[in-house]
Amino acid sequence: MNPSPAPLLDDAALAALGKTRPWLYFLGILACLGTAFAVLVLLIAFSIALHTARAHLLAWGGIVLLLISAPTAFVQLAYASALSRLSQARGAELPEAVELACVRQRSVWIVNAFTVGVLALVSLFQLLTTLHLVR
Amino acid sequence: MQNEFSPEAPSRPTLTRRSIQALAATQAWARLAGIALLVLACVELALGVTKLFYPPALPANLQFGPHGMLEFTALHSILDAVMVIIYAATGWYALRYARKLEQVRPPLHPDSRDIVVALGAQHRYWRLQGVATIVFIGLSFVFIIAITIISVGLAVKH
């Protein structure tokens, strides 16, 4: 029995990856800005003594934002750079560049699932708190 | 005419075993992200409906009065509705990407077409995510400007 041949990554597949790149750069840069904003929020929260309820809320908001935006920025920009490398790769470099892009897209989706899960939990907590206050 | 076998044909990369394994391993994460996004949409919808019937207490410097409060609630509801649509749409696209990756998983032997379809679904997901982010940022600006206008209008009236 012959093993099935490895699938070709044809022009259409390379084009699909190429079109994804600008969106990932855009989202990655926004996540970087989000990280900077989260750090600023945390600095403000810690500079105005943490014993007030508002500072506590600010600090928690900053921590959640940092947990979401820092890993997102890292993996999205890493995937976008792998896609840039793929677009420039020629000949023998191509399979290695494709492999790197595939591995990094998996990291992007792991972090994406984690951040969306954190957001869902925070929203669920907010809903429960609201329902508790309403009752 | 060039074809795969002609000497002039450009070299096309093949997906290595590791690449296929990485793509296949993404499926579970894409499915998890899709389900979490749909849960987020449902929670956001429930939160929006709750806020509609029990509007949250506003800070002392943002007292709009009955008319202004109605405008504030309407703006808030629009923002909530847009967020529900964004979460539901991105969740659906993530689940669609996960479904397309099913064709790539071993022991199935994916061909070029399966890879193109899966990568195309991924591209559509990130494009929607990007557009949704632009819409969200735009709406947030509109929301802030509208609240400022309502507050200034009320201050001038008094």
Q: In whole angstroms, what is the distance from residue B135 CA to residue B150 CA?
A: 22
Q: For residue range B62-117, what is the model confidence (pLDDT) as tens digits?
A: 556 556 667 777 777 888 898 999 999 999 999 999 999 888 877 767 777 788 88
Give the pLDDT score at B3.
42
Of B46, B56, B123, the CB nearest to A19: B123
What pTM did the predictor assign?
Answer: 0.82
CA-based nearest distance B68→chain A, Å: 22
Asked whether the predicted pLDDT for residue B126 surpasses 50, the reply is yes
User: Span A96-113, mean pLDDT?
Assistant: 91
Residue B22 with chain A: CB contacts under 8 Å: 99, 102-103, 105-106
Q: What are phi and psi of B111, to 5 degrees?
A: -105, 180
Is residue B78 within 8 A of residue B138, CB to CB? The reply is no
Q: Which of A24, A95, A126 sits opposite B13 (nearest CB)?
A: A95
Greater model confidence, A1 or B147: B147
Q: Cβ contact (<8 Å) for A7 and B14?
A: yes
Query: What percent of chain A is helix, strand and coil (3-state, nearest 5)?
Result: 85, 0, 15
- Condensed to tens digits (0 to 9), the pLDDT of residues A75-87 reads 999 999 999 998 8
Query: What's the Cα-to-Cα distance from A106 to each of A69, B9, B36, B106, B141, rounded to whole Å?
Result: 17, 31, 17, 16, 33
Report ipTM for this prediction.
0.84
Q: pLDDT category, B5, cuts 50, 70, 90?
A: very low
A50/B122: higher pLDDT: B122
